[in-house]
Structure 1
Amino acid sequence: MEKFIYAPEIAKLGHVALVTENLDKSLWFFKEIIGLEETREVNGTHYLRAWGDFEHHTLSITAGETSYIDHIGWKAKRREDVANFARLLEDAGTEVRWIAAGEEAGQGEAIRFELPSGHRFEIYFDMEKPQAEEGRKSVLKNQVYKAWAKGVSPRRIDHVNLQTSMDNHLIVTYLQETLGFKLREYLVNSDDKQVVGWMSVTNLVHDVAMMSKPSVGPNEMHHIAFWQDNAQDILRTADILSEQEVSFVGPGKHGISQAMFIYVKDPGSGLRVEIFTNSYLIFEPDWEPIKWTYAEYQKNGSTYWGDRRRDDVNIQAVKA
């Protein structure tokens, strides 16, 4: 294996590429209800971002015969890390496909590959950061769009939660050893076997969660999460969804991550969206992963307080 002066690193979650079986419904949901702004449309793909997102897009939506997640994009810390990750992944036996600059609108050269579960990841560095046109532009120089222009209006993308039927420890270890994710909290079942891992490359509790369940496929997405600034925003979200007669689960507070949440589904694709706030940040370099038993998870881990209707939350994930 080639030696690196420094190990390649992932800086943050970049974007999710959604394919939907009902484009009109998905665009209505994400633009008018969630309140994302459309950067542009290229060859049938609509590129969206929240008012506080700086890069070209954090969500893309394309029409398809079925709904699925095409890929999940991650931004590297350095431009050379893209090529270094390619070599590292190939040395580990992972097939890598290069994506030419411009193949994905706004994005430079990138690589795509699959986890052992089949989830498709992309790593890039260069991404356009277009300004908003007049009329949508914020008066703040450090903000792209006007806040609260429409709908729920989250500030930014926050994390993704993935599902697999495969062994959780195997996938989590791959994310740790190959891509540099750190395990922050994890859940074991009644046999003391790990079934969920919450992981991050930033100070967040999780940029990605990986949940293992025998009832799902090997590569599914449970939800994509968008961040709001505070608890009052979550209550405002509940009012907006109720006014629009869109069903949702929440508000509530997770014990794991300590975040407040609402879950709502895109009627076009079935993709679940979490509106997410509060939580805590991790600055300790010697952080020890926190273990939750299944009994603890049932009592306080999943829902510390609030809406405990979990059936809608735990089924019907979108294929990734």
Structure 2
Amino acid sequence: MTIKHEIAHVAHVELLTPEPEKSLWFFTRVMGLTQNGTDGDSVYLRTWDDYEHHTLKLTAHTTSGIKRTGLRASSQEALDRRVKAIQDAGLGIGWRDGDPGIGPTYVFRDPDGHELEIYWESEWYQAPPELAPSLKNQAQAYPAMGVCVRRLDHVNFLAADVEPSTDFLRDVLGGHPTEQIRLDDGTIAGRWVTFTNKSYDLVYTRDWTRSHGRLHHIAFATDTREDILRAADIFLDQGVFIETGPHKHAIQQTFFLYVYEPGGNRIELCNPCARLILAPDWKTITWTEAERAKGQAWGLKTIESFHTHGTPPVDP
């Protein structure tokens, strides 16, 4: 049976940081997210066009990395069906009380060990008067601070083996692989998966350290491509390390800029973000090792740290 659109979208992430104050400064003052509550060592932050309570849960920790990725189901019935499928696959952890603004949440792992959660009930954000937008179809007023990212776009996980986790997304959660990298030995080194009409929501790329459960990056969408050019100047002025870009990916054709936030996690700005996949019979695009060796769309070779840097860090 084909599973279609039972996952509505990637909703939020919990990011770990050993530099909580500096990371909070980065996400609020530089990236332009708005704080929307705290809980112990965690701060809840939201992008201005997100309709839910939070986009990012930033949690103080001894190291960096991603703790959990949230997926919203498309209905209560879809949630029940996906939970049963996850349990049947033997990867369930169990039900939890959701974070603020979120109802009952089922926590599980992918085959590589990344922790995810799925839920249906969600409290739509109601902006206080000082953040109320003039346009009633927008969740929050434009904050006019720093980069002003619009929404969470995608998450790129590192995995010791890409295929088991992306097969899990396809067979258990209903994701559709849109593009992939196949090495000369037949190994899938990267795969881009969508749950929606976007060309990708979750990405898995090969972890060359053979570690499990690590993060390559989380990506935020900007309103325009020019915002990324402006962001490069903002990062330069604020002393934020720019890893690579602005430039254009060949795969998915995304205009990008990669930086490290103060806790060490890689953050991407992207626009155009994921392209729209409208064809119901879209066939997965496969890139060869030779094609990837040509670099990015405009000739820039992929820099070495793109293959070696992930969080949490591991000993070489």
TM range, normalised to the smaller chain?
Answer: over 0.9
Deviates more, 1:131-140 or 1:30-39: 131-140
What do the CA deviations read for 1:42-68 (whole angstroms, capped 9, x no partner)? 233211111111100110011122223
**Structural mapping, 1:119-268, within 5 Å:** 119-166=114-161, 168-248=162-242, 249-267=244-262
Residue 105, structure 1, aligned to residue 105, structure 2: no
Deviates further, 50-59 or 37-46: 37-46
- State the percentage of identical aligned residues: 36
- The match for 2:35 is 38
State the TM-score, normalized to the length of structure 1.
0.91
The SS at the match of 1:15 is strand
Shift of 1:242: 1.5
Structure 2 counterpart of 1:171, one-letter code: S
Q: Distance in 2 between matches of 1:83 and 1:319?
A: 33
Q: 1:52 to 1:18 in 2, by over 3 A?
A: same
* Between 180-189 and 135-144, the greater mean CA deviation after superposition: 135-144
**Any idea what the Cα deviations from partners look like across 1:222-257, whole Å, max 9, x if unmatched?**
000000122211111112112212221210000111
What is the deviation of 1:216? 4.3
| Residue number in structure 1 paired with 2:304 | 311
Q: Does the residue aligned with 1:257 lie in a helix, a strand or coil?
A: helix
| Aligned partner of 1:22 among 12, 19, 23 | 19
Residue 119 of structure 1 and its aligned partner are, at CA, apart by: 0.6
- 1:294-309 equivalent positions in 2, closer than 5 A: 294-300=289-295, 303-305=296-298, 308=301
Query: Structure 1's 239 and 194: CA in aligned 2 closer, same or farther, altered over 3 A?
Result: same
* CA-CA distance at 1:148 after TM superposition: 4.8
Distance 2:224 2:299 in 1: 16
Hey, what does 2:265 align to over in structure 1? 271
Q: CA deviation at 1:83?
A: 2.4
The answer to which of 307-316 and 170-179 deviates more is: 307-316
CA pair 112-319 structure 1, distance change in 2 beyond 3 A: farther
Pairing 1:39-54 to 2, within 5 Å after superposition? 39-54=36-51
Aligned Cα RMSD in Å?
2.0
Measure how far apart 1:90 and its partner are. 1.4
* Residue type of the alignment partner of 1:224: I
**Any conservation in 1 of the 2:208–2:307 contact (CA below 8 Å)?**
no
Q: Give me the whole-angstrom Cα distance separating, in 2, the residues matched to 1:218 and 1:64.
A: 18
Describe the superposition over 1:78-116 as per-residue Cα deviations: whole angstroms up to 9, x where unpaired. 02322222211112222331012xx41211001001111
SS across alignment from 2:308? coil
CA distance in 2, matches of 1:153, 1:99: 32
Cα separation, 2, equivalents of 1:292 and 1:41 = 43
Contact 1:86–1:96 at 8 Å: present in 2 too?
no
Q: CA deviation at 1:190?
A: 2.2
Residue 305 of structure 2 aligns to a residue whose secondary structure is coil
Is 1:118 the counterpart of 2:113? The answer is yes
Gaps of 5+ in 1: none
Unaligned segments of structure 2, at least 5 residues: none
Does the Cα contact within 8 Å between 2:17 and 2:64 map onto a contact in 1? yes
